Amino acid sequence: MKYDRIDKQLYIQNRAKFVQHMESNSLAVFNSNDIYPVSADSTIPFQQHRDILYLSGVDQEESILILFPDSKNEAHREVLFLKETSELIAVWEGEKLTKENAFEVSGIKTVYWLNQFPVMFKQMMAEAASVYINTNEHLRASTEVQTREDRFIVKLKSDYPAHTMRKSAPILHRIRSVKESLELELMQKACKITESGIRRLLSFIKPGVWEYEIEAELAHEFLRNRSNGFAYTPIIASGKNACVLHYIENNQMCLDGDVILLDVGAEYANYSSDLTRCIPVNGRFTERQRNVYNAVLHVKKEAEKLLVPGTMMVEYHKEVGQIMENQLLGLGLIDKTDIKNQKADWPAYKKYFMHGTSHFIGLDTHDVGLWNEPIQAGMVFTCEPGIYIPEEGLGIRLEDDLVVQETGKPFNLMKDIPLEALEIEDLMHS
């Protein structure tokens, strides 16, 4: 890992929050991710499962966490199982966590090697009445690949059919969505790294630059600031490419007169940032581009005011839609007849603004959270309205990461990243 070690108190707090929601005489199990193969002996760089990371800080493959707060054996109330390290592993792969280092990372005193898991787990399950399994219940999850966690759950149900199975996901969606102060510091760090990348681009972008060259500039800036790189696959979309919401080819030349939509963000310590900015290739917006840009900016500023405790997200999106409708009328993209004839499930504004305005963000870019409960202070959301006009080869989206406050407007983790059209132009010509 490139990032500085995180204070283990964060993980101690996170486990305490999870345990508060557990039923009595239950244990919970969390597995690390696999290292996924490409072909031959190639693998995808390891990414830790966010849930075991959130609860332990262990950023290493072949790890298991057990929480059993009612165990008669005090040593078994929090247990880590790790792959045993050795001098040979250290030579070929680098050092892995020792038992002592695992405590320094996690605050967990009881650490066993992974080969002890079958025996120790059988002892704990004999004492427990139910077990929390960690299924992926994100609304946008793709479950085609069987994970290490999935395989464990299949075996668990086969080996222990008499135990009651409970779900960890509802607890994790609740507690992970409200960030601790240290988490917000890590997210702020990711946003500051993103800012460095954007400021670098403002002096780099010009007609004739290729989208992949812009991606390369960002990758260099992120890595030199101790990020592992992009928090998600970057979108570098110039001209008409900006009207493809998830354009990731990044293989076209940026032409004079076009606008580039940059949906990019650095990660830091596995925490995501998620930014969108739109930059004129030649350093100046045309009048039409500026008008569309300022319409999106107006919607964004008004939407931010709604991200306050008590807001329901379904109502939030409806209200943002009304704000966008007025802007599209002003731009001449829709008219009152379009509104009169619109369908209830597909309002007229959706022709030019077809995605949601906000999502949870944290350890995952599209982080977990409870969509059907009111917003709380400490939650972090993106705010990202957009207008896409394929017939004009123009797509504008603007996005920042916002921390909901107890009172007043949310705190913008990206407040220092240039946003106003004039500021962007001035910096490009400075």
- Express each pLDDT in 91-131 by its tens digit: 788 788 999 999 999 999 999 999 999 999 999 999 999 99
Closest Cα partner for 117 from 81, 75, 86, 167?
A: 81
Here the tokens at position 36 are: 């996924």
Which are the contacts of 142, defined by CB distance < 8 A and separation ≥ 6? none
pLDDT in tens, 203-255: 999 999 999 999 999 999 999 999 999 999 999 999 999 999 999 999 999 99
Sign of CA dihedral 43, 45, 50, 51: positive
Here the tokens at position 404 are: 């909901």
SS3 string of the chain?
CCCCCCCCHHHHHHHHHHHHCCCCCEEEEEECCCCCECCCCCECCCCCCHHHHHHHCCCCCCCEEEECCCCCCHHHCEEEEECCCCHHHHHHHCCCCCHHHHHHHHCCCEEEEHHHHHHHHHHHHHHCCEEEECCCCCCCCCCCCCCHHHHHHHHHHHHCCCCEEEECHHHHHHHHHECCHHHHHHHHHHHHHHHHHHHHHHCCCCCCCEHHHHHHHHHHHHHCCCCCCECCCCEEEEHHHHHCCCCCCCCCECCCCCEEEEEECEEECCEECCEEEEEECCCCCCHHHHHHHHHHHHHHHHHHCCCCCCCCHHHHHHHHHHHHHHHHHHHCCCCHHHHHCCECCECHHHHCCCCCCCCECCCCCCCCCCCCCCCCCCEEEEECCEEEEHHHCEEEECEEEEECCCCCCCEECCCCCCCCHHHHHHHHCC
In the predicted model, what is the mean pLDDT of residues 51-78? 98
pLDDT in tens, 156-171: 999 999 999 999 999 9
Within 10 Å of residue 20's Cβ, how many Cβ atoms? 10
Which are the contacts of 184, defined by CB distance < 8 A and separation ≥ 6? 380, 403, 413
Which are the contacts of 361, defined by CB distance < 8 A and separation ≥ 6? 187, 272, 273, 274, 367, 380, 381, 382, 401
Query: Could you say which of 3.40.50.2300, 3.90.230.10, 3.40.50.300, 3.40.50.2020 is the CATH number of the domain covering 181-428?
Result: 3.90.230.10
In the predicted model, what is the mean pLDDT of residues 261-280? 98
pTM value?
A: 0.96
Here the tokens at position 139 are: 């609304």
Q: What is the mean pLDDT of the chain?
A: 97
In the predicted model, what is the mean pLDDT of residues 397-416? 98
* Greatest distance between any 2 Cα atoms in the chain: 74
Domain 9-177 identical in fold to domain 181-428: no
Here the tokens at position 121 are: 């787990």
pLDDT of residue 365: 98
pLDDT in tens, 291-341: 999 999 999 999 999 999 999 999 999 999 999 999 999 999 999 999 999
Judge contact between 368 and 177, C-beta under 8 A: yes
Q: Is the pLDDT of residue 69 over 80?
A: yes
Query: Could you say which of 3.40.350.10, 3.30.450.40, 3.40.720.10, 3.20.80.10 is the CATH number of the domain covering 9-177?
Result: 3.40.350.10
Closest Cα partner for 50 from 222, 181, 169?
A: 169
pLDDT of residue 72: 97
pLDDT of residue 92: 81
pLDDT of residue 1: 77
Domain residue spans of the chain? 9-177, 181-428
pLDDT in tens, 174-198: 999 999 999 999 999 999 999 999 9
Say which residue the tokens 């731009």 belong to: 331
- What is the distance, to the nearest Å, from the Cα of residue 157 to the centroid of all Cα atoms in its chain? 31
- What is the distance, to the nearest Å, from the Cα of residue 182 to the centroid of all Cα atoms in its chain? 16
Here the tokens at position 429 are: 């010509």
Distance, CA of 348 to CA of 376 (rounded, Å):
31
% the chain with pLDDT above 70:
100
pLDDT of residue 427: 98
Here the tokens at position 8 are: 């283990």
